[in-house]
Chains A and B, each alone.
Chain A
C-alpha cells in the first residue's frame, strides 16, 4: 500500500480486519504526517501520540485474538485514528475550549459521543483547535493561535471547528468530531474542502460537550466522504440517559447504498441564499452541483425561506444569551484558572476579565444585555418569536421538497486578519449556516468545486429533522459522480 492516510474509513477498516494493515501502521502514518505538517498548520491544541500508540497496540492485540479465537466480529472502527475538537471532554486529556480559563482543565469523564467511539476502539490522535468556546468563524479567537488553511496558509480554515476541518483536509486525521452551534462544522468543512455533518438537534448526546448555546449546540462530524460520516454517525447517534434533550430514537444504519439514482428526489433552492455581494464563483459552483444532482435524477425547484435575513440577529441574541448563562460557571472557584483577589467578588471579576478573550467577553456582554430587565422583551423575547417564524419557513418549504440545497458561505476562505476587529463582519460569515441551528434541522456540507484561486467551495443540504440518512445518501451519490472530495491540498 502506498499512502495509508489516503484510505477512507471503510477501506482502512476492511484492511485492518483482513489483517493486511495493523492499527499501529495506520496510526504511525498519521503521527508522521502530524510531525511533518502540524508546525505549519497548527490544527491541534493538544497531541496525544503516546496514548495513540498504546491504544493502537491494544487494538492490534484485540484483532489478533479475534482472528485466532473467532467470536463476535470487532467494530469496523477498531484501531482507526480519530481527532476530537477541544470542546468535547476526553477523560484524562486536558480540554481547553481554546480558552485560557481552562488552560489546565483535565476532565474526569468522557463526552458520550467520544466514549462511544473509544469503546468501538478508535484511537485518539489529539484535541483540535477551535475558536474560544466555539465562538467564531475562523479559529482566530483561539487563545492558542490560529489554524492555517491547508489550501493556502495565509487564510483561515473557517470555524469554529477549524482545527478538525484542517486536520481532515491535510490528512492529519482520517475523521474528526466537531460541534455546530451556528455553522461551526459546516463552515470550516466548506473552507477546507471536506465533508461536515451537523446532525438534527437531539440526534447525538451533548453530554460532555462544554455548553455554549444549549438550545443550538450539536455534536457533528468532519470527514472526507459522506460514507465516512455515516459510519461515525451510526456509532454516536441515539439516546443517552445523561442528556435529557437527546431523543431515544432508533438509529438507522446510515451507510448509503451504492445507487446514484436520485429519481423522484425534490430539491428546493432557496432564493434568499443567493444574495448580492456573494462571490460569483461560489454561486456558480453551487448551481453546477445542483445541476449534477438533476442529472442523477433529482428535480430542482425554487423555494422561499422568507425570514432568512432575520436569522443573524435572532441567532446573535439567543446564542449569546444562552452563553452568558452557561459561562457563568467559570468563576475561578471550583475548576479552571483563578486570578487572585482580596474579595470573592473581585476574584470572579478579575478571573473572568483576565482569562476570557475579547469575543467571549463581547458575547457575554451582548447576552447579559439581551436578558437584562427592561430589554428582555425587545431583544430575547422577540428573537425567540422570530425563531418560530424561521422554523416555520423550513416546515413549509420541506412540505414541497425533500431537501434544501444552498451555499454554506458567501465566499471562499478569507485571509487571516481580514475581519480585523469588526465583530459584525465576522458574524455575517454565518448567514447561511445559522438558520439550520435555529430550526433544529440537520445540515450536510460537502465540496462542490474550487474558485479561481484554488480555494474549495462547499454546498449544504438541509432536510426535515432526523433525515440525516437522506442527506448522506444524496451526498454519497454526488461523490460517486464527482471527484471534488478526492482533491488534496497541493503542497501536502
Chain B
C-alpha cells in the first residue's frame, strides 16, 4: 500500500480534518489504489515541458484600485455561527 496509516493521519492533520479510525483505514486503502493508478504519470518524460497553472492568455483583467462600498457588518454576521460584541466568537486561542 503506497499510503500507510501514519501518512494518512499526518495529511489529515495538515488538512485540519478529523477522521475516525475507520475512515483512516478506508482512506489509506482507497487513496493508495488511486495513487497507484496515477503512477502512470511518472512514465511520461516531461523534461523541458513548462507547467500549466492557467489556460488563460497571459494578460490580467484588473479593475481600477478604488475604494468601493463592501458588505455591511450586519450582512457579514448574518451567517456567523457565533457572534459577540460585533466579533466572531471562537474558543480560547491562547492560554
B14 touches A368 (CB 8 A): yes
A347 touches B90 (CB 8 A): yes
The count of chain B contact residues (Cβ–Cβ below 8 Å) is 53
Which chain A positions have C-beta within 8 A of B3? 369
B75 touches A439 (CB 8 A): no
B17 touches A333 (CB 8 A): no
Which chain B positions have C-beta within 8 A of A423? 30, 34
Indicate whether A349 sits within 8 Å of B41 (C-beta atoms), given known contacts A215-B53, A336-B81, A424-B33: no
Cβ of B11 to closest chain A Cβ, rounded Å: 5
Indicate whether A361 sits within 8 Å of B23 (C-beta atoms), given known contacts A310-B40, A366-B34, A381-B51: yes
Give the distance in Å from the alpha carbon of A248 to the alpha carbon of B56 in the complex: 12
Cβ of B25 to closest chain A Cβ, rounded Å: 13
A245 touches B75 (CB 8 A): no
Q: Among A201, A335, A337, which residue has the most Cβ atoms of chain B within 10 A? A: A335
A338 within 8 A of B: yes
Which chain A positions have C-beta within 8 A of B23? 358, 361
Give the distance in Å from the alpha carbon of A23 to the alpha carbon of B35 in the complex: 52
A-B contact count (CB 8 A): 168
B62 within 8 A of A: yes
List residues 3-61 of chain A with CB under 8 A from any CB of chain B.
Answer: none
A384 touches B18 (CB 8 A): no
B15 touches A324 (CB 8 A): yes
B56 touches A366 (CB 8 A): no
A-contact 0/1 string along B24-55, CB 8 Å cutoff: 00110011011101101110101001111111
Cβ of A329 to closest chain B Cβ, rounded Å: 11
B78 touches A424 (CB 8 A): no
A120 within 8 A of B: no
Cβ of A475 to closest chain B Cβ, rounded Å: 23
Cβ of A202 to closest chain B Cβ, rounded Å: 5
CB-based nearest B residue for A324: B15
A334 touches B17 (CB 8 A): no
Cβ of B69 to closest chain A Cβ, rounded Å: 12
Indicate whether A361 sits within 8 Å of B81 (C-beta atoms), given known contacts A385-B50, A386-B41, A389-B49: no
A372 touches B38 (CB 8 A): no
Cβ of B31 to closest chain A Cβ, rounded Å: 6
B91 touches A341 (CB 8 A): yes
Which chain B positions have C-beta within 8 A of A387? 51-52
B19 touches A439 (CB 8 A): no
Give the distance in Å from the alpha carbon of A440 to the alpha carbon of B52 in the complex: 11
Which chain B positions have C-beta within 8 A of A348? 16
Q: Is the interface of A mostly helix, strand, loop or mixed?
A: helix
List residues 190-206 of chain A with CB under 8 A from any CB of chain B.
Answer: 201-202
A314 within 8 A of B: yes
Of the residues A108, A239, A241, A384, contact of B71 by C-beta under 8 Å = A108
B80 touches A334 (CB 8 A): yes
Of the residues B46, B54, B60, B75, contact of A389 by C-beta under 8 Å = B46
Give the distance in Å from the alpha carbon of A52 to the alpha carbon of B35 in the complex: 47
List residues 78-95 of chain B with CB under 8 A from any CB of chain A.
Answer: 78-82, 88, 90-93
A352 touches B16 (CB 8 A): yes
B91 touches A215 (CB 8 A): no
CB-based nearest A residue for B47: A385
B46 touches A385 (CB 8 A): yes
A310 touches B44 (CB 8 A): yes
Of the residues B12, B76, B82, B90, contact of A344 by C-beta under 8 Å = B90
A440 touches B81 (CB 8 A): no
A369 touches B31 (CB 8 A): yes
Which chain B positions have C-beta within 8 A of A379? 38, 41
Which chain B positions have C-beta within 8 A of A364? 15, 17
Give the distance in Å from the alpha carbon of A331 to the alpha carbon of B92 in the complex: 15
Of the residues B8, B53, B61, B75, contact of A248 by C-beta under 8 Å = B61
Of the residues A106, A245, A382, contact of B79 by C-beta under 8 Å = A106
Which chain B positions have C-beta within 8 A of A334? 76, 79-80, 88
Which chain A positions have C-beta within 8 A of B37? 313, 424
B56 touches A313 (CB 8 A): no
Indicate whether A353 sits within 8 Å of B19 (C-beta atoms), given known contacts A341-B91, A344-B90: yes
Q: Which 3 A-B pairs have the closest CB atoms?
A: A440-B55, A353-B18, A384-B51
For this complex, 9 residue pairs linking A to B, each with C-beta atoms less than 8 Å apart, are: A310-B40, A313-B37, A336-B79, A347-B90, A348-B16, A386-B44, A386-B46, A438-B55, A440-B56
Other A-B contacts than A310-B41, A362-B27, 5 sampled, CB-CB below 8 A, are A241-B61, A247-B61, A316-B34, A352-B15, A388-B51
